[in-house]
Structure 1
């Protein structure tokens, strides 16, 4: 997980399939800004308004994420959505459709920020496709308050891994184990995302979905803040090979994980 946290700078061209942005659409934008601003130390500035009110979250002046107001006519989940880099959003969207996925929004231009689409894989997990201009994209990583990893939680990995491999050109690195169904996706030789097949343990109320991890300095302190700010703890803190991890939900129910770097 932690290997993928080095990010390209805002003026670098990202390899296709590289996670380059993470975005959240919510009903209460001001309240959500207060929650994440307190939790992660983010500040906010206006962003592209193509889908309605939208703000860029900044940490020490660097873009890290986006939060927008959920349009009433858009059937999108209140969930963190990772965006993966593309050099041709329209061609990638066509490939999504050819491989059995769907495109829910776009492709469309996000003002001068770039071109984007929101899609779903054949299992229904939602993700974004992004070709960004030089001035917008996650441009800092490896410090508290920044995205650290994206993991797809799905029923089984075989078919969906082929989908992402075909759409984005990933290389697959399966984990060989009798009791584990896990694949690491690599782009440009680097691990960039993971796929976890949960079988019947996949939450029935959510189905397949992407889960974003944010780095924190202290998992215990973060969980205390989450509850004080009106969020919920879904999976208490526990040790993992990548650090101390927990899964939480914000006051609107958007689920994300936090990870404390063991180093």
Structure 2
């Protein structure tokens, strides 16, 4: 999801009709844009530019390419500080209605955020996600291959979740351009244009007091040095939840959880 005006004629925009049902953006709800900018600038090396929605919104740039958004609306909208993936849809209103018909909930919207419409939703196990109807950068394929590396849903039952999202987003519909669903062991794998764009795994506990164990979408960012990112997070007010070869789960200075990984291939 992008609310910024393209910076050059070379950045041609296309609509969400080009990537049906696929993750198309990630956004962080925050309480304070300035401290969030400082944290992710130090940990991931991001630079920033404003969105045309106002001072509460920023676009993160990695090597000059838009990779994520930040919206300082957590306090204003009484929302949790968290990373959220957004999925491309033909109609945000229709997608929100499908979610509610299937036992999910609507937290915010659908509402107009030129050049499109958005909604923040939750599936029937409580995992939060968004939908976006509107313009995308034409280099969407390059975006999802760079950052985030991928997104993963930790949920109660992967196959039940795949049915829910498949009905909302028309996954596996056999229509040209729509996402394909496959299986690797106990995981559900989502592909768009042959590339893996999301994974769904079982094992989360809906009633767990720890939000890291409850159903949630986890955003993974590809980095060159996982250990360096973890140390930078600790120095700038964040924390390391777990760290292993090639991957670390971090919390930022406001408590939002994300993963840094050295693996770009899925």
Q: TM-score, normalised by structure 1?
A: 0.83
Shift of 1:12: 4.2
Query: Aligned residue pairs: how many?
Result: 242
* 2:95 matched residue in structure 1: 92
1:57-79 Cα shifts (integer Å, max 9, x gaps): 12233211111112535232211
* Equivalent in 241, 256, 259 of residue 258 of structure 2: 256
Secondary structure, counterpart of 2:19 in structure 1: coil
Native 8 Å contact 2:31 2:72 kept in 1: yes
Give the 3 Å change call, closer, same or farther, for CA 212–109 of structure 1 in structure 2: same
Secondary structure, counterpart of 1:133 in structure 2: strand
Shift of 1:10: 5.8
RMSD of the alignment, in Å?
A: 2.5
Matched, 1:174 2:183: yes
Native 8 Å contact 2:14 2:138 kept in 1: no
Shift of 1:100: 1.3
Matched, 1:24 2:36: no
Matched, 1:81 2:84: yes
Give the 3 Å change call, closer, same or farther, for CA 141–15 of structure 1 in structure 2: closer
Matched, 1:197 2:202: yes
Give the 3 Å change call, closer, same or farther, for CA 25–48 of structure 1 in structure 2: farther
Secondary structure, counterpart of 1:258 in structure 2: strand
Give the 5 Å matches for 1:47-62: 47-49=51-53, 53-62=56-65
Give the 3 Å change call, closer, same or farther, for CA 189–140 of structure 1 in structure 2: closer
Shift of 1:140: 3.1
Matched, 1:111 2:120: no
Shift of 1:201: 9.9
Distance in 2 (CA, whole Å) between partners of 1:49 and 1:174 is: 40
Q: TM-score, normalised by structure 2?
A: 0.82
Give the 3 Å change call, closer, same or farther, for CA 168–262 of structure 1 in structure 2: closer
Structure 1: state its 5+ residue gaps: 1-8, 239-243
